[in-house]
Amino acid sequence: MIAVLGAGAFGTAMAIALARSHDVALVARSGAEGMARSRQSVGKLPGLRLPDRLWPVKVLPMGNFPVLVAVPTQHLRTALEGNADALAGRPVVALCKGIERGTLAGPTAVIADAVPDARPAILSGPSFAADIARGLPTALTLASREDAGGLRDALSAPTVRLYSTDDVTGVELGGALKNVTAIACGAAVGAGLGESARAALLTRGFAETTRLAVALGADPATLTGLSGLGDLALTCGSDLSRNLRHGIALGRGETPEGGVTVEGALTAQAALEVARREGVEMPIAATVAALVAGETDVPGALRALLGRPLKEE
Ligand SMILES: NC(=O)C1=CN([C@@H]2O[C@H](COP(=O)(O)OP(=O)(O)OC[C@H]3O[C@@H](n4cnc5c(N)ncnc54)[C@H](O)[C@@H]3O)[C@@H](O)[C@H]2O)C=CC1
Ligand SMILES: O=C(CO)COP(=O)(O)O
């Protein structure tokens, strides 16, 4: 048995994929009864047939089986605190990609803080909810400081292939920062700066992500894996990405679509604060933070990036 807490796009998609080989409880704040009756998903990924082994429920079931938490990073703490009793002592796997504002904590640190006796883990990598829900093949990285291999085996499914590592920091930052870089790539595309500019931003964004992750103790090899280069390539290259589309709107000078989860817009400033604390330069994250805050526009951002002193790669 596996529980998925949060029935947005990604929680619903993961629950559907896992229910092909596991019993899965999908915990939804609203709409659980309707889903149970109609056997169809609702909300951000509506109209999908729910597999027989998926049980939509309103309350997180007690037990010691793993709980995947699929809510946006800035809501993770509230979601955990609201379920602290049921989460105690269990493996709690964050599916979110971001840095908590204010505390500057990654998802596993938020779990450790909100539910001190839980066993924190993070699952991240290139995976659009729509692909996962349709049963298209996906590979992700499961990171935990204790028994990552055991959790990997417990959470793998026919179309979801998991790899394991104990490099929690590398996996968290790879997932959180690819969204920031995707906004930069989108802004370049939206402003008509071309595919070469997109590739340059992807590459230099990867360089600054790796710099920060290594300063925080990550293995650079983790960043070349699924929750790093893999997810960066997917997110910066596909219009299915909400972060890329947000950047495209900013680049065109349009108001981005409302009511959409855009993790990079909320993480850029937090990433910059972590970078300043660590003495690491992150010019692309700084530019995205300024763009998102409306403190600069694309021509200003371009001037700032191209005007930086020349240096060795
Ligand atoms: N959508 C995608 O393709 C992917 C999303 N992710 C990550 O998954 C996380 C969630 O994203 P999405 O599911 O796409 O967002 P979403 O906007 O589709 O859904 C978020 C869900 O969280 C629920 N929620 C918010 N606060 C809650 C709380 N306190 N308690 C219970 N539920 C709460 C909302 O009701 C909503 O159903 C993000 O960090 C995102 O980066 C990761 C991989 C792919
Ligand atoms: O994380 C994702 C793909 O791996 C989803 O990307 P977006 O949040 O930009 O849609």
Q: Is 138 in the pocket of ligand 1 (CB under 6 A)?
A: no
Average of per-residue pLDDT across 267-272: 98
Residues 199 and 159 in one domain: no
Tokens for 116?
A: 């001190």
Task: Give yes or no: 44 in active site.
Answer: no
Strands (E), the chain: 2-5, 24-27, 54-57, 67-69, 91-94, 119-124, 138-143, 160-165
Last residue of a domain, one of 141, 166, 191: 166
Residue 125, classed as helix, strand or coil, is: coil
125 lines ligand 1 (CB under 6 A): no
**pLDDT at 4 (0 to 100):** 98
Q: In this structure, are 205 and 91 located in the same domain? A: no
In this structure, which ligand is nearest to the CA of 97? 1
Q: Are residues 269 and 223 in the same domain?
A: yes
pLDDT of 280 higher than 90:
yes
What is the average per-residue pLDDT within 30-38?
Answer: 97
Total domains in the fold of the chain: 2
Token pair recorded at residue 86:
């049921």
| CATH number (domain holding residue 248) | 1.10.1040.10
Q: What is each CA distance from 80 to 64, 138, 191, 284, in whole angstroms?
A: 16, 27, 40, 32
Report the atom number in ligand 1 closest to the C-alpha of 128: 3
Q: Distance, CA 48 to ligand 1 centroid (Å)?
A: 17
| One domain for residues 18 and 134 | yes
Rounded distance, CA 166 to CA 85, Å? 26
* Residue in 45, 241, 250 to alter for ligand 2 test, most ligand atoms within 8 A of Cβ: 241
| Mean pLDDT over each residue of the chain, to the nearest integer | 97
Q: For position 39, which CATH number holds?
A: 3.40.50.720
What ipTM describes this predicted complex?
0.99
Q: Are residues 157 and 211 in the same domain?
A: no
**pLDDT over 90 (residue 307):** no
Q: Does some domain include residue 186?
A: yes
Q: Look up residue 241 and give its amino acid.
A: S
The binding site for NADPH consists of 10, 29, 97, 129, 242, 263
The verdict on 260 and 180 lying in the same domain is: yes
pLDDT, tens digit, 9 for 90 and up, residues 72-97: 999 999 999 999 999 999 999 999 99
Confidence of residue 146 (pLDDT cuts 50, 70, 90): very high
Q: What's the length of the chain?
A: 313
7 lines ligand 1 (CB under 6 A): yes
* Pairing status of strand 2-5 against strand 160-165: unpaired
Torsion angle of the four alpha carbons 297, 300, 306, 309, in this order, in degrees rounded to the nearest 10: -130
Q: Looking at ligand 1, which residue's alpha carbon is closest to its atom 21?
A: 8
Does 313 fall in a domain? no
Residue-range definition of the domain harbouring residue 248: 174-306
pLDDT bin (cut points 50, 70, 90) of residue 24 is very high
- Quick: pLDDT tens for 156-188: 999 999 999 999 999 999 999 999 999 999 999
Same domain, residue pair 77 and 118? yes
Q: Is residue 61 part of a domain?
A: yes
The residue whose CA has the least distance to atom 8 of ligand 2 is: 242
